[in-house]
Amino acid sequence: MAHSTQKSQNRTNSLFSRRGGTFLPAPRATRAAVAGATKALLVVAHPDDEYAVAATVYRLTRELGATVDQVVITDGAGGYRYSALAEEIYGFPLTDEATGRKYLPEIRRRETLASGRILGIRRHHFLGEADNGFTLDPNEAELAWDIQRVRGFLTQVMESEQYQFVFTLLPARDTHGHHQMAATLALDAAQALPEERRPVVLGADPGVSGKRPAPYRALPGRPHTRAAAHVWEFPRTRRFGFREALDYRIIVNWVIAEHKSQGYFQTDVGRHDVERFWVFASAGSAEWAAASMLFSRLLHADSGLPAAMHAQGA
Ligand SMILES: [Zn+2]
């Protein structure tokens, strides 16, 4: 198998490490460890859901010195239907359901690690819950997952790491039920913490600039999924580099390309040019101010590193 050289996602001290067949600089772990730096947790249902926030996460980790970790709740075994193009790459008939379900959890874990290398994600937590495929009903996830275990893990990791921000996918009613449940559990976990240590939880949805997002409504029977009306945006088209010729769509396309087992996902190249964020209404005024400052930095900071981080070096 092509990925046999991969062992640990936490090996950050070599200048270049092999991940998914590509060579990328190791994350700037020392910089991220500086006190006062922004820390965020991404909580998603599936390996590849980081797509929704890819440009924002890259900007945070690679340009603003933030630390971002990721929790992936399911093992992604349900993603076998469009795997035809990856059968040659991985050497298994993945579109056969039994074969796909057997090999995809490990394949998709490695794809997510490779994507995480691009995005500068420090640490991944793969919870390995069942992925029974597409549904609009969050209750299906509730039946298939060990909800207490996931909620407990999220609470514990939020408690021990003291993230200021938690990103999850916006739990709109017309999205995957697994996304709805992932957001619900992230909010449950945040609310279980004492108020002074509670992170700001934001729901993300990629969109098209100039096209207004559909109004978001809380999930029925889950009032804590209510969000404030204001929507923040980070444009993937934000320019940088030599002659301002580069933009974050390049990063997003790299992320998509790492998930080779997900054939249909590859057609999302160029589809969304903005990442939108809703702050859940449980946030108080301090959290709201923190979110406002976060987006101010995302949109306006130059190289982004505050003086304290420069002093420490990378
Ligand atoms: Zn998903």
Q: What tens digit of pLDDT does each residue of 216-243 get? A: 999 999 999 999 889 999 999 999 999 9
**3-class state of residue 236 by DSSP:** coil
Residue 185 near residue 154 (C-beta atoms within 8 A): yes
For residue 46, report the distance from its CA to the centre of ligand 1, in Å.
Answer: 5
Of the pLDDT bands very low, low, confident and very high (cuts 50, 70, 90), residue 249 is very high
Region 256-269: mean pLDDT is: 97
Residue 34's pLDDT is: 35
Distance of CA 223 from the midpoint of ligand 1 (Å)? 22
Please tell me the distance between residue 77's alpha carbon and the centre of ligand 1 in angstroms: 12
pLDDT band per the 50, 70, 90 thresholds, residue 283: low
Q: What was the pLDDT predicted at 288?
A: 82
Ligand 1 mean position, distance from CA 312 (Å):
37
Alpha carbons 308 and 35: distance in angstroms, whole number: 9
Q: Tell me how far apart the alpha carbons of residues 146 and 222 are, in angstroms, rounded to a whole number.
A: 19
CA-based radius of gyration for the chain? 19
Q: Is the pLDDT of residue 9 over 50?
A: no
Q: What percent of the chain has pLDDT over 70?
A: 84
The two structure tokens encoding residue 99: 């074969």
From the CA of 86, how far away is ligand 1's center (Å)?
19
Residue 274, strand partner residues: 207, 235
- What pLDDT band is residue 54 in, cutting at 50, 70 and 90? very high
CA 314 to centroid of ligand 1, rounded, Å = 34
Strand pairing report for 39-44 and 67-74: parallel
Quote the ligand 1 centre to 135 CA distance (angstroms): 11
Distance (Å, whole) CA 230 – CA 289: 13
Q: Is 221 exposed, middle or buried (0-12, 13-18, 19+ CB in 10 A)?
A: exposed
Does residue 313 surpass a pLDDT of 90?
A: no
For residue 7, what pLDDT band results from cuts at 50, 70 and 90?
A: very low
The rounded Å distance from CA 49 to ligand 1 centre is 5
- Distance in Å, CA 132 to ligand 1 centroid: 12
How far from each other are the two terminal CA atoms of the chain, in whole angstroms? Answer: 35
Domains of the chain, start order = 38-300 (3.40.50.10320)
Where do we find the tokens 């207490």? 148
- Helix 147-161 and helix 177-191, axial crossing angle in degrees, nearest 10: 50
Fill in the amino acid letter for 143.
Answer: L
**pLDDT tens digits along 59-116:** 999 999 999 999 999 999 999 999 999 999 999 999 999 999 999 999 999 999 999 9
Angle (CA) 166 176 220, round 5°: 80
> 304 vs 279, which has greater pLDDT?
279
Q: What is the mean pLDDT of residues 259-281?
A: 95
Output the CA 166–ligand 1 centroid distance in Å: 17
Q: Is the pLDDT of residue 303 over 90?
A: no
> What value does the mean pLDDT of the chain take?
86
CA of 50 to the centre of ligand 1 (A): 9
Q: Residue 26: exposed, middle, or buried by beta-carbon count in 10 A (0-12, 13-18, 19+)?
A: middle
The total number of residues shown for the chain amounts to 314
Residues with Cβ–ion distance below 5 A, ligand 1: 46, 49
What are the tokens at 186?
Answer: 């992230």
Q: What pLDDT is stored for residue 36 in this prediction?
A: 54
Q: Sort strands 200-207 and 274-280 into parallel, antiparallel or unpaired.
A: antiparallel
Q: CA–CA separation, 116 vs 71, rounded Å?
A: 11
Contacts of residue 175, defined as CB under 8 A and 6 or more positions apart, other chains included, come to 136, 169
Q: By C-alpha distance, which of 126, 101, 113 is closest to 255?
A: 113
Question: Hey, what amino acid is at 104?
Answer: L
Are 165 and 199 contacting, i.e. CB atoms less than 8 angstroms apart?
A: yes
